[in-house]
């Protein structure tokens, strides 16, 4: 069973030995291994039960190091990197040969980011390799936002989870790629579109709800709890309200559904809070003896867009 602790030296020793460990980031917890070591990367895919066609994000701690792994940084990428990193933004950039094909699932680009978490930044500064880290959940399940979530699901397969407390942002990083050096959003996430637009102007947002996604993590059934999820628009009432019905609501409980079956995403009414609570609340509802979960869409602004995107995927089956 994985040990949970705050010992960066322990995490470093496991990683240097080619093993994988849970690490905190500001978005969600990652399942980390040496991104340059194909055996460690293979171990990540195995532990997560992740198909090999779904590439990993590479984490490092300085822009200088990013340049060791990519051949070219378009102007817009440099601008975003300097403004946002460390932060909840992943950039798709042309990879150098030292990044194994296994890490990028054979793609010519590598997804890379500098995460904003003090423990993980410290760990990265002590390593002479970057960390490949997908979200630390079994493939297709809800992403973890605490060390305990990681240990519950992957604890029997990994030696250590570095505990950095609950994640401050709560949804995965925003992913941006460059088409003819023009930035395009591939995944809505922890960096709000409004902020990105303020930095680099209007952005194209790719709709990934297709059966042949460019970013395979965009498969429509991602983030799914084990129970069926039905989406509600604000003000819409659920069709069923028996004791086997649960609800994930924005600010106010739904009439008719038992209160103990409901979780409030944002008691203070902000989409930022909703993002921070989303996965923990969805996970808690999934663990109750319910037959169905209703989930209310949140205002489609700021991180609310990423929340609605995850809810839509949780509801898709």
Span from 120-128, 194-202, 211-219, 253-261 in contact with ligand TXA (CB under 6 A):
211-219
From ligand TXA, Mg ion, none, which one binds at residue 34 (CB under 5 to 8 Å depending on kind)? none
Residues 285, 254 contacting (CB under 8 angstroms): no
Q: Is 27 annotated as a binding residue?
A: yes
State which residue, 114 or 249, has the beta carbon closest to ligand TXA: 114
Q: Is 109 annotated as a binding residue?
A: yes
> Which phi and psi angles does 117 have, rounded to 5°?
-140, 125
Cα–Cα dist 89/176, whole Å: 8
Residue nearest ligand TXA, Cβ-based: 217
Kindly report the length of the chain.
317
Q: Could you tell me the two tokens for 180? A: 């003819």
Q: How far apart are the first and last CA of the chain?
A: 32
Q: How many residues interact with ligand TXA (rule CB under 6 A)?
A: 27
Binder of ligand TXA out of 34, 37, 104, 245 (CB under 6 A)? 104
Judged by CB under 6 A, does residue 115 bind ligand TXA?
yes
Enter the DSSP assignment of 270. Answer: -
Q: CA distances (Å), 2 to each of 41, 140, 147, 189, in order?
A: 19, 22, 10, 29
CA–CA–CA angle 92, 167, 217 (5° rounding): 35
Minimum CB separation from ligand TXA for residue 25, in Å?
5
Span from 10-18, 38-46, 134-142, 151-159 in contact with Mg ion (CB under 5 A):
134-142
From ligand TXA, Mg ion, none, which one binds at residue 119 (CB under 5 to 8 Å depending on kind)? none
Q: CA distances (Å), 262 to each of 235, 289, 300, in order?
A: 16, 12, 22
CA torsion through residues 140, 142, 146, 151, sign: negative
Cα–Cα dist 200/249, whole Å: 34
Q: Is 59 annotated as a binding residue?
A: yes
Which neighbouring-strand residues pair with 248? 263, 295
Rg (CA), the chain: 19
- Between β-strands 3-5 and 160-162, what pairing exists: parallel, antiparallel or unpaired? parallel
From ligand TXA, Mg ion, none, which one binds at residue 57 (CB under 5 to 8 Å depending on kind)? ligand TXA
Helices then strands, counting H and E runs in the chain, come out as: 9, 15
Binder of Mg ion out of 60, 104, 135, 296 (CB under 5 A)? 135
Contact mark string toward ligand TXA, 63..102, x via CB under 6 A: ---------------------------x-x----------
Cα–Cα dist 154/161, whole Å: 10
Query: Contacts with ligand TXA in 24-63 (CB under 6 A)?
Result: 25, 27-28, 30, 54-57
Minimum CB separation from Mg ion for residue 136, in Å?
9
Minimum CB separation from Mg ion for residue 142, in Å?
9
Cα–Cα dist 310/145, whole Å: 14
State which residue, 173 or 272, has the beta carbon closest to ligand TXA: 173
Q: Is 113 annotated as a binding residue?
A: yes
State which residue, 89 or 266, has the beta carbon closest to ligand TXA: 89
Q: Which residues are annotated as a binding site for ATP?
A: 50, 59, 109, 135, 143, 187, 223
Site of interaction with ligand TXA (CB under 6 A): 25, 27-28, 30, 54-57, 90, 92, 104, 107, 109-111, 115, 133-135, 172-173, 175, 186, 215-218
Q: Which residues are annotated as a binding site?
A: 27, 50, 59, 109, 113, 133, 135, 143, 173, 187, 223
Site of interaction with Mg ion (CB under 5 A): 135
């Amino acid at each position: 069973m994985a040990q949970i602790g705050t010992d960066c030296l322990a995490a470093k020793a496991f990683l240097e030995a080619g093993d994988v460990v849970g690490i905190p980031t500001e978005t969600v917890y990652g399942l980390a291994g040496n991104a340059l070591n194909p055996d460690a990367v293979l171990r990540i895919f195995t532990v997560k039960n992740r198909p090999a066609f779904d590439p990993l994000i590479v984490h490092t701690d300085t822009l200088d190091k990013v340049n060791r792994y990519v051949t070219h940084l378009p102007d817009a990428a440099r601008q975003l990197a300097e403004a946002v990193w460390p932060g909840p933004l992943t950039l798709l950039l042309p990879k150098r040969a030292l990044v194994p094909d296994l890490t990028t699932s054979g793609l010519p680009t590598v997804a890379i980011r500098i995460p904003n978490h003090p423990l993980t930044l410290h760990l990265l500064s002590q390593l002479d390799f970057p960390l490949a880290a997908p979200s630390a959940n079994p493939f297709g399940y809800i992403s973890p936002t605490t060390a305990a979530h990681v240990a519950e699901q992957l604890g029997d397969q990994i030696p250590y989870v570095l505990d950095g407390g609950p994640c401050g942002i709560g949804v995965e990083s925003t992913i941006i790629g460059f088409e003819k050096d023009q930035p395009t959003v591939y995944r809505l996430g922890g960096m709000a579109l409004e902020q990105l637009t303020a930095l680099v102007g209007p952005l194209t947002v790719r709709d990934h709800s297709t059966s042949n996604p460019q970013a395979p993590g965009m498969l429509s059934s991602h983030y799914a709890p084990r129970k069926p999820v039905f989406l509600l628009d604000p003000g819409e009432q659920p069709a069923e309200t028996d004791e086997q019905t649960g609800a994930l609501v924005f600010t106010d409980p739904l009439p008719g559904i038992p209160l103990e079956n409901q979780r409030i995403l944002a008691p203070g009414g902000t989409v930022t809070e909703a993002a921070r609570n989303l996965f923990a609340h969805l996970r808690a509802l999934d663990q109750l003896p319910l037959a169905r979960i209703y989930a209310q869409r949140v205002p489609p602004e700021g991180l609310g867009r990423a929340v609605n995107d995850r809810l839509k995927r949780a509801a898709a089956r």
